[in-house]
Structure 1
C-alpha cells in the first residue's frame, strides 16, 4: 500500500503542481503583453487561460499533501524533520499562491493593475516556485533518511 500511496503522491505532484508552477511563471510576461496591447484578443485570452490553469490546478493540488500525509503515515515518518520542514514549506507555498499570486492575477485579469503589479507578481511567483523546488529536493534527499538517498 505504501508504494501505491507514494506513486499517487508523486503523480499528483507532477500533474497538479507542475502546471501551476509553469502557468504562474508565464503569467507576468503574458500580462505585460496584454497591458501593452489591450486590444490584442490573443494576449488577453492567454492571460485568462493562464489564470484559469493556476486556479484549477491550485484546487487539484490539495491532493498532493493529502496523499503525502497518507504516504508518510504508512511509512512511519510523520515526525521526521525533513517531513516537518516540507510540510511547513508546503503551507508557505500554498499561502503565497492563495494570498499573493492568485489575487494579483485576478486583478490583472479584471483589467486592473499595471506593469508594477506584474513585477511584484513575478517576484511572488518566484518565491512560490522556490518553495516548491525546496520541497521537491527535501522529498528526494530526505536528510537523515536511512534509505541512503
Structure 2
C-alpha cells in the first residue's frame, strides 16, 4: 500500500504542481507582452488561459499533501524533521500562490496593470517555484532519515 500511496503522491505532484509552476512562470512575460500591445486579443486570451491553468491545477494540487500525509503515515515518518520542514514549506508555497500569485494575476487581467506589477508577480512566482524546489529536494534527500534514500 505504501508504494501505491507514494506513486499517487508523486504523480499528483507532477500532474498538479508542474502545470502551476510552468503556467505561473509564463504569466509575467506574457503580461508584459499584453501590456505592450493593449489591443491584442490573443495576448489577453493567453493570460486568461494561464490564469485558469494556475487556478484549476492549484485546486487539484490539494491531492499532493493529502496523499503525502497518507504516504508518510504508512512509512511511519510523520514526526521526521525533513517531513515537518517539507510540510511547512508546502504550506508557505500554498500561501504565496493563494495570497499573491493568483490575486496578482487576476488584478493584471482585470485592470491592465503596469510593468511594475508584472515584476512583483514574477518575484512571487519565483518564490513559489523555489519553495516547491526545496520541498522536492527534501523529499528526495530526506536528511536524517533512517528509511533509506
Give the structure-1-normalised TM-score.
Answer: 0.98
SS of residue matched to 1:146: coil
Q: Which residue of 1 aligns with 2:19?
A: 19
Q: How does 1:51-130 map to 2 (within 5 A)?
A: 51-130=51-130
Deviations 1:22-45 (A, max 9, x none): 000000000010111011111111
Alignment partners' CA distance in 2, 1:112 and 1:85: 38
- In the TM superposition, residue 147 of structure 1 has moved relative to its aligned partner by 4.0
Query: Paired residue for 1:136?
Result: 136
CA distance in 1 between counterparts of 2:38 and 2:66 reads: 41
SS at match of 1:145: coil
Contact 2:35-2:112 within 8 A present in 1 as well: no
In structure 2, the partner of 1:3 is: 3
Query: In 2, distance between residues paired with 1:68 and 1:24?
Result: 23
| 1:67-122, Cα deviation, whole Å (9 max, x unpaired) | 00000001000000000000000000000000010000000111342111000000
Give RMSD over aligned pairs: 0.8
TM-score of the aligned structures, taking structure 2 as reference length: 0.98
